[in-house]
């Protein structure tokens, strides 16, 4: 995960993401975004599903939809670096992402 440093979600930990470019295959977008946001070369794994963000709409923002792929990365959690791998959700984080990752067995959520 990375910690947003700007925009309406500044300060939130989140699953790295970005816009798919016109004509860009989804897997290529996943690999490009991981390189840009994490500085890592990864291979996208299987599609996990999608995440909707009603909290954005309820707060007067847009209505994004995320498409999530499982990717294995060897990365130690380091909150001070603004990126990390977590087994429990760091705070603060989008509730929708916590729910999604917990449902897929990728996080153990206490909140």
pLDDT in tens, 66-107: 899 988 775 555 556 677 778 888 888 888 888 988 988 888
* 109 within some domain: no
* 15 within some domain: yes
* 23 within some domain: yes
CATH of the domain at 19: 3.90.79.10
* 82 within some domain: yes
User: Please, where are the H alpha helices in the chain?
Assistant: 26-38, 54-58, 95-103
What's the domain range around 98? Answer: 2-103
Report field, pTM of the whole predicted structure over 0.75: no
Write the pLDDT tens digit of every residue in 19-57: 899 999 999 999 999 888 888 888 888 999 998 888 777
pLDDT of residue 6 exceeding 80: yes
| 92 cis-preceded (ω within 30 degrees of 0) | yes
* 66 within some domain: yes
* 32 within some domain: yes
Long-range Cβ contacts of 42-47 (<8 Å, 24+ apart): 42/71, 42/72, 42/73, 43/71, 44/69, 44/71, 45/69, 45/70, 45/71, 45/72, 46/70
* 10 within some domain: yes
Confidence class of residue 16 from pLDDT cuts 50, 70 and 90?
Answer: confident
Number of independent structural domains in the chain = 1
* 110 within some domain: no
């Amino acid at each position: 995960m990375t910690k947003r440093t700007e925009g309406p979600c500044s300060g939130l930990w989140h699953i790295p993401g970005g816009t798919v470019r016109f004509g860009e295959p989804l897997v290529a977008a996943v690999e490009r975004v991981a390189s840009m946001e994490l500085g890592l070369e990864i291979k996208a794994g299987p599609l996990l599903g999608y995440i909707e963000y009603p909290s954005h709409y309820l707060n007067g923002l847009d209505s994004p939809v995320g498409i999530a792929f499982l990717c294995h990365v060897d990365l130690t959690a380091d909150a001070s670096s603004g990126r990390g791998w977590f087994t429990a959700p760091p705070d603060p984080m989008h509730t929708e992402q916590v729910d999604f990752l917990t449902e897929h067995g990728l996080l153990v959520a206490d909140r």
